[in-house]
Amino acid sequence: MEALKQRVKELLALAQVKAVLGYTKGTGDRRRPLFIRAAGQVDQLVLDEACTQNLAAYATKREVKQLGKVAVISLPSTQRALLQLMAERQLRDGEVVVLAVDGSEIKEITSASALEEHLARKVTHLDSEDKATLERLAAMSREERWGFWRKELSRCMKCYACRNSCPMCYCEQCTMDCNRPQWVPVASHAFGNLEYHMVRTMHLAGRCVECGECGRACPVGIPVHLLTYCTEESVHEQFGQCAGRTAKLDYALATFKADDQESFIR
Amino acid sequence: MAAKFEPKITAFVCNWCTYAGADLTGTSRIKYQSNVRILRVPCTGRIDFMMVMKALHQGADGVIVSGCHPNDCHYTSGNYHARRRWMVFKKMMDILGVDMRRIAFSWVSAAEGAKWAQLVNEVTDQVRALGPYVEYRQLVGAGIE
């Protein structure tokens, strides 16, 4: 921790970056993002298991980009998101310094290719609760799954926290905000909620880095991250492509193979 | 006495193959069930998955999506892209528990008038057997739960 703080101070002092994104103490046991712009703020920095938020979502924000080059203290999921953002040309290669902290070792990654190499050795893990929910879903009949999601989504109030917290949802005008024509209903009734979550899932298919931030951001605890997770997994199974792994864009739904195998088209 | 249920089927078809194929069905004087409402789009690549959902929302009991066979796309690759989209879409619908027996995908070329008639008949019969799409009607009518 001290080494990290020291390194952050150095980065700022040498003016290599204009700001460092990290975590600090939030309400209760929670952690919130911290934007360090002066050495005096460095002591507020916290890094422990409670730091889960994907900070990559801030990296594409206009306010952050205006600051200039930033460094991000990052978890593997944040790193995947940053790499995917570079692949999608939302961040320039080298625009962000990735600080990967692994125990006492601090690794500074400054290019997309180095980040790709770094991430090649990481695997994604679902937590036990998510695994249990997925197993439960897999054991259900179709009608039961429909009932499950209907019940879960009935709590949705369309606060759009899942969208706003997602690093891959960076469109300046989201189709949800488009009201001429009104493509997806604004109201958070049963039908509007289903359509919203369908659109969100499909727009993230092949791009989701499986950080689970949408699920953590949900104030009413809907496991929306499982929708994107399962869809992303199906993309990987069917096409072998994976978001957040390559510095060169490899978006499954923008490419095709003449021999893509399906079994349902008559 | 309740009227006998007749399903409404919405078909999204591409301009170059299936639409011409359906036209051929007619000019060949092949009879098929009249439950289908055909919507012509430029290419299967144009068919956003939400168009299918909107059809169900507006009262369709079943949906047909059809276009050129692989390698026959007028725009070279629109149907290949569409195929990938449906492959992902189908998985998502499985997870959500949407009844995929009501959504049929097919390749019907401009020469396959008979196949079009057969497809419409098969899908209509299947959806008629399934009955009205109550789940979706309930969802649309549920309001804020």
**Tens digit of pLDDT for each residue in B11-61?**
999 999 999 999 999 999 999 999 999 999 999 999 999 999 999 999 999
| Nearest beta carbon to residue A231 from set B70, B71, B92 | B92
pLDDT-derived band at A217 (thresholds 50, 70, 90) equals very high
**Tens digit of pLDDT for each residue in A164-185?**
999 999 998 899 988 888 888 8
Binary contact (B97, A266; C-beta < 8 A): no
Place of tokens 């460095």: A42
Q: Are B9 and B32 a contacting pair, CB within 8 Å?
A: no
Go through the domains of chain B in sequence order and give each one's CATH number: 9-135 (3.40.50)
Q: Is the pLDDT of residue B2 over 70?
A: no
**Tens digit of pLDDT for each residue in B73-82?**
999 999 999 9
Contacts of B106 in chain A (CB under 8 A): 265-266
Q: Is A242 on the interface with B (CB under 8 A)?
A: no
Could you give the C-alpha distances from A188 to A158, A164, A191, B111, B139, in angstroms and in order?
6, 17, 8, 46, 12
pLDDT of residue A178: 86
Q: Is the pLDDT of residue B143 over 80?
A: no
Taking residues A9-28, what's their average pLDDT?
Answer: 91
Contacts of B49 in chain A (CB under 8 A): 198, 202
Mean pLDDT (chain B, rounded): 92
Q: Could you tell me how many CB contacts below 8 A there are between chain A and chain B?
A: 117
Q: Is the pLDDT of residue B142 over 90?
A: no
Contacts of A252 in chain B (CB under 8 A): 84, 88
pLDDT of residue B137: 86
Q: Which helix (H) or strand (E) holds A76?
A: helix A76-87
Residue that wins the pLDDT comparison between A97 and B1 = A97
Mean pLDDT (chain A, rounded): 91
**Tens digit of pLDDT for each residue in A242-259?**
888 888 888 999 999 998
SS (H, E, C) A1-52: CHHHHHHHHHHHHCCCCCEEEEEEECCCCCEEEEEECCHHHHHHEECCCCCC
